[in-house]
Structure 1
Amino acid sequence: MPIAVSSGQSLRVGGLTPLTTIDFPGRLAAVVYCQGCPWRCSYCHNPELLDAAAPTATSWSQVLAFLESRRGLLDGVVFSGGEPTLQAALPAALAQVRAMGFATGLHTGGMYPERLAAVLPLLDWVGLDIKGPKHHYDAITGVPGSGVRAWESLGLLVASGVPHECRTTWHSGLFSAETLCELVTALSDQGVVCWALQECRGPSGAHWTVTSQQAIRWAAQFATFALRRQ
């Protein structure tokens, strides 16, 4: 049975990927998709997970039973979403998975810095979405003040020493290429060592304008850098 949490609730699970080689660097992992997200980004790739009150695809107890059957076969479990830190049951779920012998990973937008800080000691790796400079966040997420919270989470993550990747999904309709260059400098100055730039398929007229010269310059600013094209 799931570990009890103060809310008396178990993790609400919107989906499960039984095996991935790309969502948790260096590990064979399962992905648990957590139901619910407070942001409404136009390029969200899991819109069915946005509604926190939507019926769940499976129960947490069923997920635990699956993980029990994969002991010795999987290295880790990634909690993705949706937004995992939206749920009060996340710390208990992480603790339980670690007790089963799995490494733990988290995909997050960083919208709840205090909740991220609370679970960092329970994590082996974090993938943090940095959607843009602070002043562009409101337009991207539809939520006022979201940029301040995300960048606070970034500071907490970097200071924690937990291995991580920051990634930015971008097309020229979100903000300019010049602003993207400014974002690269800001991330490097913040102490980010691993950054990935992901192509976003935006509305008509929005396109990818990254040059090979820019990519070379950016690669020199991070220990690990990746361009991910659709």
Structure 2
Amino acid sequence: MADKLCEDFCEDHKAQQVCMARFKDDIKSESSKREALAVRMDTVEHNAHKRIDGIDHNFTTELRNSTDKITAELKSIEAGLRLMISGLKDETNAKFEALKDKIGTVKDETKEDYRREIENARKDRETKIAQVRDETIGELTKKVPFWAFYALLVIIIASIGGLYAWQWDINKSNQEWQKCVSADMNGSINRINEAVTSLSRVIVEESFNRKQNTENIKRYEQDINEKIKRLERDIDALKNHKKKDAS
């Protein structure tokens, strides 16, 4: 084609040779420029791929490190909460057991004291009754003549009846005293039950706080999962952008 153009536009043979030489030089120059441009495009494309791969690698490494760090923090928080909850549970159980032992000891001591006092009062009453009866019979025997034995017998019977009446009055008083003691004992038991109720309330509050801590951990995990999903979406967007650049 170059030869045809040179023959058409150049009159002599020499001019045609010069024209053809210039065409060949232009063709070589254009070919060199195209090769240089192709090399430059390959270099740019290689550097772009290298840069994108480096960004992808750095981003993946950073994401992996962040995920490992978040996982380690979650495990640390979970271990700390488990240890705290276990400690609170053990402490509460220990206090409750100590309170139960104390309640049992107080009940046993109170029952033993009341039983001892009642037994001593009963013995003292029987001793006094026997002493008064013996003294009364002895005095009457010394002072009353033999001929008034029957009258003395009536007096003795009446005295014994009075003693039994006095004993009945003492028994009635003892029953009222036992009622008072039972009321005091019931009051002590009520105060102990109030302490147990207060401790149960503390246990319920600790359970509620434990539930709140569990809910906070769940919310923290949801927040972390959302951040991880957002990072995954960013990675996908970066990969899509890289594909567009490559195409």
- TM-score w.r.t. structure 1 length? 0.16
Q: Which has the higher helix share?
A: 2
Q: Which has the higher strand share?
A: 1
Comparing both chains, which one has the higher relative contact order based on Cα–Cα distances under 8 Å and sequence gaps of 6 or more? 2
